Amino acid sequence: MGIIKTIGILTSGGDAPGMNAAIRSVTRSGICNGFKIKGIYRGYEGLIKGEMKDFTTEDVSGIITRGGTILKTARCAEFMTPEGRKKAFKTCQKERIDALVVIGGNGSLTGARDFGMEFDFPVIGLPGTIDNDLYGTDSTIGYDTTMNTIMECVDRIRDTANSHERIFFVEVMGRDAGFLAQNCAIACGAEAAIVPEETTNVDQLAQFMGRGIRKSKKSCIVIVSESPKCGALYYADRVKKEFPGFDVRVSILGHLQRGGSPSAHDRILASITGAGAIEAIKQGQRNVMVGVRNNEVVYVPFSECIRTDKRFDKRLITVLDELSI
């Protein structure tokens, strides 16, 4: 691989607030450092099909405040095959793209790792996911905004839950990780969180109901991590059957969790890691994700950041338990 002149940038997987701030940062920092930037539309699908545009600094004006991604995003099954990735490589050759910056979550960076290895191609990742499930960075772009959105929603639900003296099961996103559920439960003063990290060995509902709900409490909020089998509906059904005295309701927050203007934290994280991606390219790094750990920019090999065992601090469970008595 020769000298890098042109950098392609794309967003992939679920959209996350702050992706635009990251696109802006990579573009402007790239241009500042003498690179040509190509914005690639619809993630890996656009890379395979060659949907892209040369980006100027004006193309990223006024987007730092906006949620979603101006580059659009997609889930692309074809990129999961060697043939699909070959097509993507051909596009890079045709368009004279010398390096890629991929903004996305676990799946997107797994694809980035395979692509980089197969074609000996420089790829830098940015942690763009609301789930915070990427190893090696304290936080991911979108996670903080989503926590704040969930907190606002649950504050509102609390009003109605209080008035009617109900148990509410509020389902939040998070894939296979409980970061959103556990931390939002603390931020909202919820009575419990049901998280995937714990489901394998304990019946969290039985544990929670077993503790007993304080008589003086007018309502109860339980934050549940999304799950195909054991989401909020599953637990609400169980309470209806196993504890028939309670008035139970379910609220699935769904896609509203992804939207909205990014928080200051996410804008700053996106800006720092975006500039960090250009710095990484200048240093000749490849196949790494740019993260921030203990306030320091870090470069984490893809193989490490996609590990599936990133877990929230177990002390958060004790904190929630103690504060919800």
Interface with ligand ATP (CB under 6 A), residue from 17, 18, 67, 107: 107
Neighbours of 274 (CB within 10 A): 28
Catalytic residue among 131, 133, 144, 266: 131
**Is 111 a residue that touches ligand ATP (CB under 6 A)?**
yes
User: Counting contacts by CB under 6 A, is residue 110 touching ligand ATP?
Assistant: yes
- x/- site string to ligand ATP, residues 115 to 134, per CB under 6 A? --------------x-x---
If one asks whether residue 136 binds ligand ATP (CB under 6 A), the answer comes out as: no
Least distance to ligand ATP, CB of residue 311, Å:
16
Residue 249 binds to ligand ATP (criterion: CB under 6 A): no
| Pick from 293, 312, 276, 322: nearest CA to 125 | 276
- For 196-226, letters b (16+ CB in 10 Å) and e give bbbeeeeebbeebbeeebeeeeebbbbbbbb
* 8 A C-beta contact, residue 111 and residue 44: yes
**Beta-strand runs (E) in 173-309:** 192-194, 220-225, 248-252, 288-293, 296-301
Binding flag, residue 114, ligand ATP (CB under 6 A): yes
- Does residue 181 bind ligand ATP (CB under 6 A)? no
Nearer to ligand ATP among residue 231 and residue 235 (C-beta): 231
Buried b (16+ CB within 10 A) or exposed e, 117-136: eebebbbbbbbbbbbbbbbb
Please give the span between the terminal C-alpha atoms of the chain, in angstroms, as a whole number. Answer: 60
Closest CA to 184 of 143, 229, 235: 143
Under 8 Å between Cβ of 180 and 173: yes
Q: By CB under 6 A, name the one of 8, 13, 178, 276 that touches ligand ATP.
A: 13
Residue entry with tokens 């028939």? 244
Identified binder of ligand ATP from the candidate list 10, 76, 188, 224, rule CB under 6 A: 76
Interface with ligand ATP: number of residues (CB under 6 A) = 19
Minimal distance, residue 262 CB to ligand ATP, in Å: 15
Write the CA distances from 98 to 38, 59, 89, integer angstroms: 11, 21, 10
Applying the rule CB under 6 A, the residues between 147 and 176 that interact with ligand ATP are 175
Nearest distance from C-beta of residue 120 to ligand ATP, angstroms: 17
Closest CB to ligand ATP among residues 131, 191: 131
CB nearer to ligand ATP: pick between 13 and 208: 13
Considering beta carbons, is residue 13 or 262 the nearer one to ligand ATP? Answer: 13
The DSSP bridge pattern shows strands 123-127 and 52-55 to be: unpaired
CA distance 79 to 305: 20
Q: Is 131 a catalytic residue?
A: yes
Candidates 8, 105, 125, 127: give the one binding ligand ATP (CB under 6 A).
Answer: 105
Residue with nearest beta carbon to ligand ATP:
107
Smallest gap from Cβ 208 to ligand ATP, in A, equals: 28
Q: What are phi and psi of 48, to 5 degrees?
A: -65, -40
Query: Which residue in the set 8, 14, 67, 116 belongs to the binding site for ligand ATP (CB under 6 A)?
Result: 14
Looking from the CA of 76 toward its CB, the CA atoms found within 13 Å total 30
Q: Which of 11, 27, 69, 108 binds ligand ATP (CB under 6 A)?
A: 108
Contacts with ligand ATP by CB under 6 A lie at 12-14, 44, 75-76, 79-80, 104-108, 110-111, 114, 129, 131, 175
Q: Which positions are catalytic?
A: 131
